[in-house]
Amino acid sequence: MGFLELKGLTKRFAGAAVVKDLSLSVEKGQLVCLLGPSGCGKTTTLRLIAGFVEPDEGEIRVGGRRISAPGDSEAPERRNMSMIFQSYALWPHMTVFDNVAYGLRLRGLPKGELQQRADTILAATQLSQLATRYPGELSGGQQQRVSLARALVVEPETLLLDEPLSNLDANLREEMRFEIRRLHDKFRYTTVYVTHDQAEAMTTADLIVVMNQGVIEQAGSPEEIYQRPRTEFVARFIGGTNVFRGRWDGQDTVACGNGLALRCASGEFGSAVADTPVSVRHHDVRLSAEKPGAATNTVQGTVARQIYLGSHRDYLVNLADGETVRAVTPAGISVPAGQAVWLHLPPEHCRALAQ
Ligand code: ATP
């Protein structure tokens, strides 16, 4: 059994279920990202864990203790959890030190211990030099570090983060992803992290939970989710991909349009035969002006456009029936728009998906 257990959770607003029969097990010390598009129910799941909303069905357990069930939920302040919001919610009239020490003061810690614990966490979050400043005198990234320090200093059993980096500019966001992971490796709090940004999830998470319309589409390590997506939704959401559809022969090949027979080295071959999706990542498509040696998994098309992006080129290729394939190639492969090309989709990179 995991440390944090969600079992059959359902939450409805005005009769409509936004979280549907959701079950998830989080190990102690794991960092789990809930990842999905806007409105898929990530924040509602986090708020159910925090205790700001109550489930209509199901239950939540922490360390075996039931903390939430319909009509029987522990108050948020009794759950030993810290939550970090998009807006850092710092006290503007308090210094960095006082913001960080606030939770310890509430708990009535003796002065010496309070000072020592606040100092330790300020050092870990690289804020010692800024301890006497006010939030209004800090950059966005520094404010976010204060909110992290404030959440960590009370040594919560569970840390909850709701899109913590969405107010930062792109460079800072990238830096803070590594910072969050570094702090996680140092303190190992059981953490649930909500984001719609796949790079953020890949950088920070031990386990990525991809959500869609209130349910979990797939949960796994970043590598598992990227390399072995189960559904078209997951394949498209994590990393760019082409999806072909066709008739599965019952073994390992899917006959798609344009005379393209795709042999797939891996997949979720199911019982359906007629409309099987196959995913091939953009950078796994081999593009060449000459006909390749391999006859299988090969199709001819016409370059619709190509863009030079320094380290690589990004192609759109039209097939005979109007279908478009995207290919990312080394920058040295340059074929102008309008010219015929061959695409080879290596079987080891073709993955059949569940319907
Ligand atoms: P985002 O990334 O945009 O924050 P999300 O995946 O976190 O999206 P939620 O905030 O969980 O999604 O919302 C899921 C659905 O529930 C949305 O359609 C939202 O409008 C609805 N919803 C959330 N809270 C309430 C509420 N208090 N009352 C009514 N509907 C709500």
Question: 271 falls in which pLDDT band (50, 70, 90)?
Answer: low
Residues 257, 170 share a domain:
no
Q: Which atom of ligand 1 is nearest to the CA of 43?
A: 7
Q: Is 151 within 8 Å of 82 (Cβ atoms)?
A: yes
Q: Is 106 within 8 Å of 94 (Cβ atoms)?
A: no
Tell me the CA–centroid distance for residue 40 and ligand 1, in Å. 7
| Atom 22 of ligand 1, nearest CA residue | 13
**Which residues line ligand 1 at a C-beta cut-off of 6 Å?**
13, 18, 36, 38-44, 196
Per-residue pLDDT tens digits for 92-134: 999 999 999 998 998 888 999 999 999 998 988 889 999 999 9
Looking at residue 124, its pLDDT comes to 83
Question: 239 falls in which pLDDT band (50, 70, 90)?
Answer: confident
| Atom 19 of ligand 1, nearest CA residue | 39
Residue 161 lies in a domain: yes
Tell me the CA–centroid distance for residue 219 and ligand 1, in Å. 21
Per-residue pLDDT tens digits for 160-200: 999 888 877 787 788 888 888 888 898 899 999 999 999 99
Residue 232 lies in a domain: no
Residues 150, 271 share a domain:
no
Residue 89 lies in a domain: yes
Q: pTM (2 decimals)?
A: 0.88
Residue 84 lies in a domain: yes
Per-residue pLDDT tens digits for 22-73: 999 999 999 999 999 999 999 999 999 999 999 999 999 999 999 999 999 9
Tell me the CA–centroid distance for residue 71 and ligand 1, in Å. 21
Indicate the residue among 186, 202, 227 that finishes a domain: 227
Indicate the residue among 165, 196, 227 that finishes a domain: 227
Residues 214, 330 share a domain:
no
Question: 18 falls in which pLDDT band (50, 70, 90)?
Answer: very high
Residues 269, 155 share a domain:
no
How many structural domains does the chain have?
2
| Atom 31 of ligand 1, nearest CA residue | 13
Indicate the residue among 164, 194, 227 that finishes a domain: 227
Lowest mean pLDDT among 116-125, 162-171, 278-287, 341-350: 162-171
Give the amino acid at 190.
T
Looking at residue 77, its pLDDT comes to 87
| Atom 18 of ligand 1, nearest CA residue | 39
Q: What is the CATH number of the domain that holds 269?
A: 2.40.50.140
In sequence order, the 6+-apart residues with CB closer than 8 A to the CB of 338 are 302, 303
For residue 87, pLDDT beyond 80: no
Per-residue pLDDT tens digits for 252-265: 999 998 788 999 99
Residues 201, 106 share a domain:
yes
Residues 181, 120 share a domain:
yes
Looking at residue 322, its pLDDT comes to 86
Look up residue 192 and give its two tokens.
């649930």
| Atom 16 of ligand 1, nearest CA residue | 18
For residue 88, pLDDT beyond 90: no
For residue 17, pLDDT beyond 90: yes
Residues 269, 203 share a domain:
no
Looking at residue 182, its pLDDT comes to 87
Residue 233 lies in a domain: no
Q: Which atom of ligand 1 is nearest to the CA of 46?
A: 11
Look up residue 301 and give its two tokens.
């098309």
Residue to mutate (ligand 1; options 40, 161, 192; most atoms within 8 A of CB): 40
Residues 257, 178 share a domain:
no
Q: What is the CATH number of the domain that holds 54?
A: 3.40.50.300
Average pLDDT, the chain: 92
Residue 342 lies in a domain: yes
For residue 207, pLDDT beyond 80: yes
Q: Domain residues for 340?
A: 241-352
Residues 218, 245 share a domain:
no
Helix, strand, or coil (residue 146): helix
As a residue count, the chain comes to 355
For residue 214, pLDDT beyond 90: yes
Lowest mean pLDDT among 90-94, 270-274, 348-352: 270-274
Tell me the CA–centroid distance for residue 103 and ligand 1, in Å. 29
Question: 20 falls in which pLDDT band (50, 70, 90)?
Answer: very high
Residue 285 lies in a domain: yes
Rounded mean pLDDT, 215-239: 94
Residue to mutate (ligand 1; options 13, 192, 195; most atoms within 8 A of CB): 13
Residues 307, 178 share a domain:
no
Residue 236 lies in a domain: no
Phi, psi for residue 166 in degrees, rounded to 5: -70, -15
For residue 274, pLDDT beyond 90: no
Looking at residue 231, its pLDDT comes to 93
Tell me the CA–centroid distance for residue 200 and ligand 1, in Å. 21
Query: Is the pLDDT higher at 85 or at 289?
Result: 289
Question: What's the CA gap between 179 and 140, in Å, rounded?
Answer: 14
Tell me the CA–centroid distance for residue 46 and ligand 1, in Å. 11
Residue to mutate (ligand 1; options 44, 52, 54, 165; most atoms within 8 A of CB): 44
| Atom 26 of ligand 1, nearest CA residue | 13
Looking at residue 166, its pLDDT comes to 80
Distances from the Cα of 272 to the Cα of 250, 269, 349, angstroms:
9, 8, 21
Residues 76, 30 share a domain:
yes
Rounded mean pLDDT, 330-348: 96
Query: Is the pLDDT higher at 75 or at 268?
Result: 75
Residues 201, 57 share a domain:
yes
